[in-house]
Amino acid sequence: MKYIISLAAALLLLGCSSEQKASEETTEASPAANIVETIQTKTAEVGKHVEEATQAAKEKTQKLVDEAAEGAKKVQESVTDVSQNITEEIAQTSQNIQDNVADTTEKIADELKQTTQEIQEAVATQSAVSEGDGTNLFKRKCASCHGATGEKAALGKSQIIKGWEAGKIITALNGYKEGNYGGAMKGLMASQAASLSQDDIEALAAFLSKQ
């Protein structure tokens, strides 16, 4: 009997201790799991915050990059505008200068042409006179009164001098110059003859004598 009791007690003790051990394990395992869970939750939360912050930073960075790009684009556009304006102004100005130069060149060319022509005409007249051809001189200074070939009585008063001998004409013109030839209107002819040189008189005489 004593033996049975002892066994029972031993069994009881054994059972208790194993029960206690098991409950101890349960209470021990529970806080650890909680801590792990808490850590996991916190880690997840921190991860989420980090992710959010990263995303926000990314968005902000993108926004800044976009703004900078926009700003740069605006600067580029205004630079393009300004350089376009300058280019147009330069083009316009150089066109104006070209036009002015062209105009001026044309004017100078015209004037030169005109002057050259006048010189040529003057030389032609001069050489005609000095060559003894009084045609031009007679046309300019005498024909208005005496007719183109001396066929008229000047102012209805003079003799018709067309075809006169050269010597007769030279005598008459020199006489008017010196005041010892002529009729009622000799004063008028004196003023006409005053500016004539001997070459002019000879040329006029040669011209009239051949008419």
Binder of ligand HEC out of 125, 128, 136, 145 (CB under 6 A)? 145
The C-alpha atoms of residue 121 and residue 49 are separated, in whole angstroms, by 106
209 binding ligand HEC? (CB under 6 A): no
Nearest-CA neighbor of 167 among 202, 128, 136? 202
170 binding ligand HEC? (CB under 6 A): no
155 binding ligand HEC? (CB under 6 A): yes
The C-alpha atoms of residue 155 and residue 142 are separated, in whole angstroms, by 12
Residue placing its CB nearer to ligand HEC in the complex, 34 or 144: 144
**Contact call for residues 191 and 121 (beta carbons, < 8 A):** no
Residue placing its CB nearer to ligand HEC in the complex, 106 or 165: 165
129 binding ligand HEC? (CB under 6 A): no
Q: How far is CA 206 from the centre of its chain?
A: 64
CB of 190 to ligand HEC, least distance (A): 9
Residues 59-64: contacts with CB under 8 Å, at least 24 apart: none
Given the rule CB under 6 A, which of 11-19, 35-43, 95-103, 179-187 is the region that contacts ligand HEC? 179-187
Nearest-CA neighbor of 193 among 151, 152, 163, 158? 158
How many angstroms separate the first and last alpha carbons of the chain?
198
CB of 174 to ligand HEC, least distance (A): 10
Interface positions with ligand HEC (CB under 6 A): 141-142, 144-146, 154-155, 157-159, 161, 169, 172-173, 182-186, 188-189, 192, 196, 204
